[in-house]
Amino acid sequence: MSLYKDIIEKKEAIAVIGLGYVGLPIAESFAQKVRVIGFDTNKKKIELYKKGIDLTNEIGDDTIKNTKIEFTSDEDKLEEAKFFIIAVPTPINLDKTPDLSPVIDATKILGTKIKEGSIVVYESTVYPGVTEDICIPILEEESKLRCGNDFKVGYSPERINPGDKVHRLENIKKIVSGTDEEALEEITNIYTLIIKAGVFPVSSIKVAEAAKVVENSQRDINIAFMNELAIVFDYMGIDTNEVIEAMNTKWNALNFRPGLVGGHCIGVDPYYFI
């Protein structure tokens, strides 16, 4: 019997590790269909969620008050799940190098809780290779199990646009990947439960990791380029907006404009790529 079937029949549970603006909407979407354990090490955050207060403003207090998510900061509660989603932050250090400590810490915790047949999916933004070269060895070391034989791993980058009430989790196509075909099939089936826009399977975890880093880096670079142009055009007495409007009359123009780069990931991901 597949893990997907066990989950939809509520014989097994999904656990979401990290309940910020990414993890909370995922947990809530799944909780409308299956049993979900929402875990975060921040006890104050968990207490506020239990009181019906949405710190992220992503799903709203009314939804939190009526959610079926089982909120917890107790690591042992994770033992009740078999499908795990890690959605913790991936910031950068002062020297612009990736700070992988949240992912590593979450992986160490989870490594002591997974069992045979478990599937672990990472959603945190990382550079290509982190899941297989850093996370899987930690899971194996902590669990004393072998990836591929005893448990499976996948990567499905988060693409949530914080504060956007139009482009929501369920209507953004989901990239999925796995360590093997069996893992990919299970992960695809499980995410299909909540993603109305459909999923997009790729051939490897590294491809999925790279896709997330590149889609954000591309946006950051293009906006930065337009900002530089705006500075130059200002010196030259040229209206930047008029230049862009003229440029956009060509069918293949990229409609980027000068401005701020929003969101946590956009300004961080180029450093992960580097």
Q: For residue 243, what are the CA distances in angstroms to 45, 161, 227, 250?
A: 47, 28, 13, 12
Q: At what angle do helices 136-143 and 101-111 cross, to 10 degrees?
A: 30
Count CB-CB contacts under 10 A for residue 200: 15
What are the beta bridge partners of residue 83?
Answer: 14, 119
Residue among 82, 91, 211, 88 nearest 157 (CA): 211
Phi, psi of 109 (to 5 degrees): -60, -50
Q: For residue 51, what are the CA distances in angstroms to 19, 30, 71, 207?
A: 15, 20, 11, 40
Which residues, 6+ apart, have CB-to-CB distance to 46 below 8 Å?
Answer: 19, 40, 71, 72, 73
Which residues, 6+ apart, have CB-to-CB distance to 219 below 8 Å?
Answer: 256, 261, 266
> Annotated active-site positions, please?
265
